[in-house]
Chain A
């Protein structure tokens, strides 16, 4: 456990040692605000909730979270520090989790930076704060999944750009996997059971309930299983790429 925390601290301080983290946070807050107020029309709409914000968040995450995850493994691989990491007395899965946790913590910080939005709707009216709290949890859970996917893509290649693009692409598939675009494509090549299976992995299906204040078992199962699967895939990727 302490080994995981060591990797976690190393990774997280790495973010904040450079301006990158702050630039990212600024962009995240600004984009979130712009989408919420100018595309989602939060103020003109006149309703005291944060739906305009949370409705756009998955798409914002889709682009921004891979930017965090892309450097988890690719950077180490490229600069050669991965060999150093592997000689330390920790197992691969501990490193994987440690790095992933650092990403989660960073996204949590980013979400905290958007709390002024929450305060704003409370100033303008009296929203259902339970719903908003659950929505934030849902957003963090979503980020956990995206980070797990991104960390796997990052482990596959030493090129950060490719890691980014792959993470966005795979993320996109999961975000849209409940829609006809993907399902029809799958239906053409696979039996109906697989189609429902892919549908059950859809981000939007589970996320939507969360933005309405409902935490249900399928959503929890989805978050835990997806994260576990992609972190496992990351571990396999890192193991396989180990020299010898």
Chain B
């Protein structure tokens, strides 16, 4: 009797203990999820989950209170778990921000459930609702930030595509609200950076994505291409493909630069963006004179081709789509940068589309500091070859000369005015004519690199524009302006995008294979064309003059036809071979991992078991003997 009772109470005790333990388990995990997520170790190579110094300094320098409200519809996370996790991440980052801000940043959550006042408020502010799967309405997942002067900054929807840029977006929002006093940039360009209207369709063309990014950090003041004077309060002058400038404008730029104010100029020998205005963009003698006075010149009508850094493009090669390296389009890696210059902070690559080569002008007396240089396997390509480009032909006629070309450079030091005779007669300007002064110039030999499609993917997510950068072009410009105009607050804050680390070995194989087989293909094609020509010659002769062909000639025709057949067959084989090496590597890799390694384990197993068994039987034998 006592035993049964004992067992029963033991069971009860056990079960009760388990129930309490279960409650404790759930409780501790809930609590940890809420309060402990800030304690973490970021073991990624780029430290992409660690907050940058720039964020910390923006937050610690906050002197006015800023409030960020997160509007969230829980149904979104419940129905789409990846968004649920994203919500957790954003919340934990915001909480971390609040911690770092010493109380100046306040974060609050707003539950934007369906049919509530909060939901209406979210719409009113301008947050974007996303349709829930299953058509059960829309969900909100956005931020609304306000400061003490009731300015409003919003992130309409925290798209998953921009999750790697979360820190950038949040800090930028805080920075804008903190009103750190933006620097003013005077911008003049012949390119439609601010957007324009398509003359044919009347449609509005949106401004370039780079402009939107610039506006987050600076105040942009657009100048007309014939401006008379640079605004006095401009902290920096930015010229992007200024084209033909008149005397007044040239003088204004000249004097601005000699006053020691920073100038960034994007000069382009060949515009991919605006083909119709290509000639205008090449620039006038006045512009060339300005550059020369500052210490540089841009080789006209020629662009840099660099085989080591060229990008691959899809090209229709006689009806066959092919992937080929296009020499003028460059992907410049970090190794081509002057890395000691802070302008390259957090930039891992820059994309160029037909850039010129900058060379120093020593007579100017300024220092010429190259910032980006091509590889020695480069040569200049005439601009006329780019009008109807044939990448394969460019490759064929390419003769690298071992010289590196400069794509971007700084010019600093004492320079002389390009107006040797002083102020032109019909120009009125304030103050005395400056004949010489210290200049601070940054020249880049390509303006196309700022155009959307050459550095980013601009897409739509829930009806909003989402920009995913493929290279650091925009950041490069932002860094440059900050470096030269002052305002270091946000240096180092960049979207730490998770760069795709690709299979370099496979890429190498592909490049090698392409090089090898393109040559072969060209030879075969040439033979094919020659043979074809001979054949048509023969055939046309026999038709025209009603001349009957001799037997030899008839055999000749047969031979030609056979040769054409053989050549075509070889061509097809060449095209197949392009992938052969890559596929072979893939098969080897898979075989090793799926078959060889298990085989090794099996052999090891056999060996170990056999040894154990023989040892066991040996000791048994010994035992018996005794």
Contact = CB atoms under 8 A, between A and B. Distances in A.
Given A116-B597, A217-B37, A180 B78 contact: yes
Contacts of A129: 45
Interface stretch (A1-9, A44-52, A60-68): A44-52
Nearest to B50: A214
Contacts of A226: 25
Contacts of B49: 212-214
B42 interface: yes
A185 interface: no
Interface in A170-210: 178-180, 183, 194, 196-198, 200-201, 204-205, 208
B505 A124 contact: yes
Contacts of A82: none
B501 A44 contact: no
A124 B36 contact: no
B32 A217 contact: yes
A26 B604 CA distance: 11
B21 interface: yes
B501 A48 contact: yes
A222 B18 contact: no
A197 B24 CA distance: 11
A80 interface: no
Contact of B44 (A130, A178, A200): A130
Interface bracket on A: 35 or more
B85 interface: yes
Given A125-B503, A233-B21, A33 B29 contact: no
A90 interface: no
Contacts of A221: 28-29, 32, 36
A124 B503 contact: yes
A22 B601 contact: yes
A196 B30 contact: yes
B597 A22 contact: no
Contacts of B24: 225, 229
Interface in B572-619: 586, 589-590, 592-595, 597-598, 601-602, 604-605, 608-609, 612
Contacts of A216: 36-37, 39-41
A236 interface: yes
B43 A205 contact: no
A87 interface: no
Nearest to A121: B503
A39 interface: no
Contacts of B25: 201, 225-226, 229
A125 B210 CA distance: 32
A37 B593 contact: yes
A202 B598 CA distance: 32
A233 B18 contact: yes
A91 interface: no
Interface string B45-81: 1101100000000000000000000000000001101
A81 interface: no
A209 B617 CA distance: 51
Contact of A124 (B14, B17, B39, B589): B589
B206 interface: no
Given A213-B44, A236-B14, A200 B26 contact: yes
B609 A19 contact: yes
Interface in A12-32: 16-19, 21-22, 25-26, 29-30
A86 interface: no
Contacts of A208: 85
B486 interface: no
A225 B22 CA distance: 10
5 contacts: A117-B593, A128-B45, A194-B26, A229-B24, A233-B18
Interface of A: 16-19, 21-22, 25-26, 29-30, 33-34, 36-37, 43-44, 46-49, 113, 116-117, 120, 123-131, 133-134, 178-180, 183, 194, 196-198, 200-201, 204-205, 208, 212-218, 221-222, 225-226, 229, 232-233, 236, 239-240, 244
Given A30-B598, A124-B506, A126-B501, 9 more contacts: A19-B609, A29-B598, A30-B594, A37-B593, A44-B586, A116-B593, A178-B81, A208-B85, A216-B37
Interface of B: 3, 7, 10-11, 14-15, 17-18, 21-22, 24-30, 32-33, 36-46, 48-49, 78-79, 81, 84-85, 88, 500-506, 586, 589-590, 592-595, 597-598, 601-602, 604-605, 608-609, 612
